[in-house]
Chains A and B, each alone.
Chain A
Amino acid sequence: MTPATRRWSLLGAWLLALAALAAYALHTLHVSTDLRSFMPPPRTPDQTLLMEQIGEGPGSRLLLLSIEGAPEARLAELSRGLVAALRADAHFEQAINGAFDPSALDEKLLPYRWLLSPTLDAHALDADYLADQLGQRVEDLASPAATLLKPLLPRDPTLEVLALAQRWSPPKAPIVRDGVWFSSDGAALLLAQTRGAGFDPAAQGAAIDALQAAFQALPGAGAATLAISGPGWFTVLINERTRAEADRIGLVSTLGFLVLLVLAYRSLPSLLLAGLPVLSGGVAGAAALALLFGSAHGITLAFGFTLLGVAQEYPIRVLSHRREGEDALASVRALWPLLATAIVSAAIAYLAFFASGVTGLQQLAVFTIAGLLAAGLSTRFLLPRVLPERFRDVAGRAWLARAVGTLDALPRPRWLPWLLALLGLVVLWRTPGPMWENDLAALTPVPQDLLIRDAKLRGELGAPDVRYLLVLHATDADGVLALSESIEPRLDALVRRHALDAAELPSRYLPSLATQRGRQAKLPDRATLERALAQASADLPFRAGVFAPFVDDVEAARTLEPLTPAAFASSPLGARLAAMLVHREDEWLGLATLSGVHDAAALDALAGATHGAVRLLDLKAASESLVVAYRERILRALGLALGLLALTVVVALRSARRAWHVLAPMSLATLLVIVVERASGLSLSLFHLVAVTLAAGLGLHYALFFERPVADPAEARRTLHATLVCVASALLVFGLQAWSSLPVLRAIGLTVALGVGFHFCLSILMARARR
């Protein structure tokens, strides 16, 4: 076999192995997009509830819809059509548009209206009450509303169904025109509840696609436009924007990176082959995740690929350090001790992440360690064997010699690092504002105009806040309903005092068994009712016997088994109630949604008066506390990682003094990155921490290579060349990200770009071996 054939067949085998591994990873690895699987496991019942509610609470699964751009009648028609389509769609649990829906109470549940409506709490079905009611019905018959009410009267002369419909309509409903909800500026309004979790972009994306398709399929939808708002929509929107911008930046920076490498090495094949180790690392990391976990979160993968960026240094070092006339394999062998030190110390450091106990971080560790090892080993054993034999030694370039000379001539005062560290600590100490950003949402902010529109729609629809929930604790579902009934008057009082706009309690839909039985006991028997009815209608013009269906219903209601949540589940409103009742092993929870909370303290006081039976859950505060807990784990893991790293470097270099030369610039640069970001008013988030880690990994390389004592001036030039290429490519890729409009990309880009700059300068200042 000629060397060329050997090279080609090895390259073919490598690519084939990569393809097979990638196919396995793609096939096996399930990528989750639900934010919750990235969070630490919940430890308290509260956190469990929070995790469920973040994604699956009724509030977060609600989409607010408005249709505009057509005449009112057309919009009303579209609203009705869309509701019908969504009710038949499996992505949606519920869709309402304010149309009076007589089927809200199932035909077979109709006799239950006496048990469900509060009417009997204040009145008895006696002659006096009936006379009053029937008198009003006579007046109704003479009113223009007669055509609407007439069909109901024989069975329901007290209009109990209307009383229930009113009780069940949203507490602060929008105005109704042409039979459906309209906003004050003439758009038709609807509410749709998805089945999928609110912060699961994939589930929400599917639901929103289905929604838009259903709207487009409506006859005459052409002119009108459908606007969507709500947590699910924001999730999808932000996801799309982030991806689009990351793709755009990725494309530009990849092109720039290629141009840079061509300029640096003047060989296209070398350049293409140099991409293989990082590719191998990514594929190996994904395959390791597939093998060990079977699934990974999208954020884990994104973080993982970011951290793997450090592996691009390996092939660059190989290309830059190759000597004139030397076999690529020989130059790798010479480099390997140092490269291995870098790889092993990074891999050992990431073990700390594995010990953190958080699945997301463990996955990150597995991905990164597997990726770094695969990239490193393929750089050592595969890359040199496939590189073309023809190449130019970079040491021969004149500008490089001049650059080395300039660097050597630079003054390097020993006091400067200490001064910088001191200044940095002072700035860090004095900078106002919070050190940490606890609101994950702040990194993926929703554009202001969309937030304003959401608030407006939410206000018009009286839709619940996503932030607050009232949690009711009881031993069984009926206990929750009884508790809910008992706080209803107090909550109503708070609504009257404008502490909040409205509350939706489970007992609004279903009273407790005791209440239902109490109402049942007040129902008169057939003979009594017939006597009362005859007496009540004596002076009224109603036809005799016209109310027989009413008498039958009351008689039937007397012997009904009271409705339980399970029995109620079959009715259209059952799903809404089911979403408000949560079963735990040893207790039941009731979830009351609140809209327009103006005075959370008043609600807290109400909850406090129940001695723990009712609690106000602030989802924002709870999620922020989770982020804090998460960050503490990351910081602890990072601290441990730093210790392990230092130890590895000391062992590898067999000298504490040399290790100090490597570790000191790396630590100081990391400090300075944080100082600059804090001084410019930024609060640090998880993404900043990951970016700082990546930058430190890159800085470790610069320091390690600069610290290496070299006798040969050509080798010093090669080291500088390799480092300059690494710095330039990192600055290019991450500098572009720093200009992104999205805070999450900006956080990573700015931090790494700053870090690379500081690490490079400080490595020259503090690590570079004097000759």
Chain B
Amino acid sequence: MSLLFALSPATSSCAKPADAPVDAPTLVASLRREVPARTAYAEVRFSGLLERPLILHGELEYLGPDRLAKRVDTPYREQMRVEHGEASVQRGDRPVRTFPLGQAPELEGFLRGFAALLGGDAAALERDFTMTASGAARAWRLVLEPRDARLARRIREIRVDGSDATPRCFTTREGDGDVSVLLVDRLADAKLAVQVSQPQVDALCRGIDAR
């Protein structure tokens, strides 16, 4: 399966000049994926509890509005699915654990945002987040800040870096300063040092053009 193909935009109406300024709703609309869309990812997680970042590899699946799946292949195996307001997690050979997302409203808001992003649903995003777009079509950045105060305490912002209709990095900045960066598309295979630092990952996200 070609991941690049899978994540290529559903709408091919992106014939805009490469350095035209971007606006958020157009940008979000251009991100819409055909269902199902799959991509490999690498996730780098920086936490105050950890002395080195946690680096995961696996596959992300977008299965339609409010339906997401995330598989972790290394360093451990885990399959997570979110659908119909319920999350189910299976780790290794342990039994599946299911819990309603309502138990963690913050989590629900976060996942809803993510699904809306992949669904290209600017209106839904606009309800939950304030959106700021910057850069040009060739290298843009979309910053989402939660409107809900309780979600904002947990999630400070979600930052998406990409070029044209292809997102490359989803950076989630949490309330306590922890940061998680999801690298997708061609960055999913990027070589990452064990002790990779935040600025290095950030450069990777921003430096798409400088590659």
A and B: interacting chains: yes
The interface of chain A, by Cβ under 8 A from chain B, is 76, 100, 135-136, 138-139, 141-148, 150-151, 153-154, 175-179, 182, 541-544, 546
Bound Cα distance from A136 to B92, whole angstroms: 11
**Using Cβ atoms and an 8 Å threshold, which residues of chain A touch B103?**
100, 176, 179
Please name the 3 residue pairs, one residue from A and one from B, whose CB atoms are nearest each other, closest first.
A177-B102, A147-B154, A543-B51
B66-83: which have CB < 8 Å to A?
72, 76, 78, 80
Give which listed residue, A141, A148, A175, contacts B104 with CB less than 8 A: A148
How far does the Cβ of B161 sit from chain A's closest Cβ, in whole Å?
Answer: 20
- Main SS at interface, chain B: mixed
Q: Would A177 and B100 count as touching, CB distance under 8 A?
A: yes
A142-B72 in contact (CB<8A)? yes
Partner of A144, one of B76, B85, B111: B111
Cα A146 to Cα B104 in complex, Å, equals 11
Partner of B52, one of A142, A148, A541: A541
Alpha-carbon distance A148/B154, docked complex (angstroms)? 8
Q: Closest CB-CB distance, B196 to chain A, in whole Å?
A: 12
Interface, chain B (partner A; CB < 8 A) = 43, 45, 47-54, 56, 72, 76, 78, 80, 85, 87, 89, 91, 100, 102-107, 110-111, 154-155, 174-176, 178, 180
B155-A154 in contact (CB<8A): no
Residues of chain B with a CB closer than 8 A to A139's CB: 72, 76, 78, 91
Task: Knowing A541-B52, A543-B51 are in contact, say whether A148-B106 is a contact too (CB < 8 A).
Answer: yes
- 15 sampled A-B residue pairs with Cβ under 8 A: A76-B105, A139-B78, A142-B180, A143-B78, A144-B107, A144-B110, A145-B107, A146-B47, A148-B104, A177-B85, A177-B105, A179-B105, A541-B52, A542-B49, A542-B51
Q: A141-B54, A148-B107, A150-B176 are in contact. List 4 more A-B contacts (CB 8 A).
A: A141-B50, A145-B107, A146-B47, A177-B105
Residue from B54, B102, B111 in contact with A179 in the complex, judged by beta carbons closer than 8 Å: B102
Task: Output the nearest chain A residue to B154 by Cβ-Cβ distance.
Answer: A147
CB-nearest residue of chain B to A153: B49
Q: Are B50 and A147 in contact (CB under 8 A)?
A: no
On whether the beta carbons of B80 and A178 are closer than 8 Å, the reply is: no
What separation, in Å, do the CA atoms of A546 and B102 have in the docked complex?
Answer: 30
Chain B nearest CB, measured from A182 CB (Å): 7
Q: Which of A143, A151, A177 contacts B89 (CB 8 A)?
A: A143
Q: Tell whether, in the assembled complex, residue B89 and residue A541 are in contact, meaning their CB atoms are under 8 Å apart.
A: no
Secondary structure at the A interface, as helix, strand, loop or mixed, is mixed
Q: Closest Cβ of chain A: how far from B91's Cβ, in Å? A: 6
B78: nearest chain-A partner, CB-CB: A139
Nearest chain B CB to A157 CB, angstrom units: 10
What is the minimal beta-carbon distance from A384 to any residue of chain B, in angstroms?
79
Which residue of A76, A147, A150 has the most chain B CB atoms within 10 A of its CB atom? A147
Which residues from chain A contact B76 at a C-beta distance below 8 Å? 135, 138-139
B8 to chain A, nearest CB (A): 27
Partner of A141, one of B47, B106, B154: B47
Q: Which of A135, A138, A178, A542 contacts B105 (CB under 8 A)?
A: A178
A146 and B178 in contact, given A541-B52, A543-B50 (Cβ under 8 angstroms): yes
B51-A544 in contact (CB<8A): yes
Please state if A141 and B49 are interface contacts (CB–CB under 8 Å): yes
Q: In whole Å, how far is A137's beta carbon from the nearest beta carbon of chain B?
A: 9
Which chain A residues border B78 with CB–CB below 8 Å?
Answer: 139, 143
Bound-state Cα–Cα, A255 to B49, Å: 82
Please report the C-alpha to C-alpha distance between residue A147 and residue B108 in the assembled complex, in whole angstroms.
Answer: 12
Task: Please state if B102 and A175 are interface contacts (CB–CB under 8 Å).
Answer: yes
Within the complex, the shortest CB–CB distance from A169 to chain B, in Å, comes to 11
Chain B residues whose CB sits within 8 angstroms of the CB of A145 once the complex forms? 104, 107
Residues in chain B near residue A146, CB distance under 8 A: 47, 174, 178
- A143-B91 Cα distance, complex, nearest whole Å: 11
Residues of B within 8 A of A76 (CB): 105
